[in-house]
Amino acid sequence: MPETLSENVGMGLGAALTAVGFVISYFVWRRKGAAYGLRGVAWSLLPVIAGLLLLMDVVLQFVLGVLGILLTMAFKLQSWVGLGLAVLMVVLYVVSGFMKSKGIGVKPGARPEDRARARTEGGEEPRGRSRAGPGGPGQRPEAGQGALRRRRLRRHRGAAP
């Protein structure tokens, strides 16, 4: 493959890839509906845009670089260890998100829901937080959690806010 593309070759490649994208988008449109088809058409315009902006050479260099890295990586143990660690990192991050949402492994009062519950029940908030409302220590907050609940309850019952 050439290392650089001329202006016309990049534009022709962009147009050809766009045409293929339009054909695929047509079938997606018929199978899944207009919303999916229009999204495919939008993505299909990307190669011709790259060709018009003379970026197809940059795209070619990027693709060749990624392929070179992947082919080199296939034969190195160090690369496989790095890939395994990257997968482990993603798994740990996702698991910690699930744990956080379920309250598992979280210290009491660390979640925003716990702080809100402590404010509405009149309990103590976790360290480092002031119980003062937005107006200061002596003023009652107008848009506090209790006021929000009362407004929602009134709306639910049909009363005017």
**Residue 78 CB: number of other CB atoms within 10 A?**
8
Residue 127 pLDDT: 56
Residue 3 pLDDT: 56
Q: Determine whether 56 is exposed, middle or buried from the number of CB atoms within 10 Å of its CB (0-12, 13-18, 19+).
A: buried
Q: Give CA–CA dist 108/126, Å, rounded.
A: 8
Helices (H), the chain: 7-32, 34-52, 56-73, 77-102, 112-121, 145-157
Residue 154 pLDDT: 76
Q: Give CA–CA dist 120/144, Å, rounded.
A: 9
Question: pLDDT 10s digit of each residue in the chain, 161 long?
Answer: 555 667 788 888 899 999 999 999 999 999 999 999 999 999 999 999 998 898 888 888 898 899 988 888 788 888 889 989 999 999 999 999 988 888 888 777 766 776 777 777 775 555 555 555 555 555 555 556 777 777 777 777 765 55
Residue 137 pLDDT: 54
Q: For residue range 104-134, list pLDDT tens digits in order.
A: 887 777 667 767 777 777 755 555 555 555 5
What residues contact 19, with CB distance under 8 A and at least 6 apart?
A: none
Taking alpha carbons only, the member of 116, 115, 112, 123 closest to residue 145 is: 116
pTM exceeds cut of 0.85? no
Residue 32 pLDDT: 92
Taking alpha carbons only, the member of 54, 62, 65 closest to residue 6 is: 54
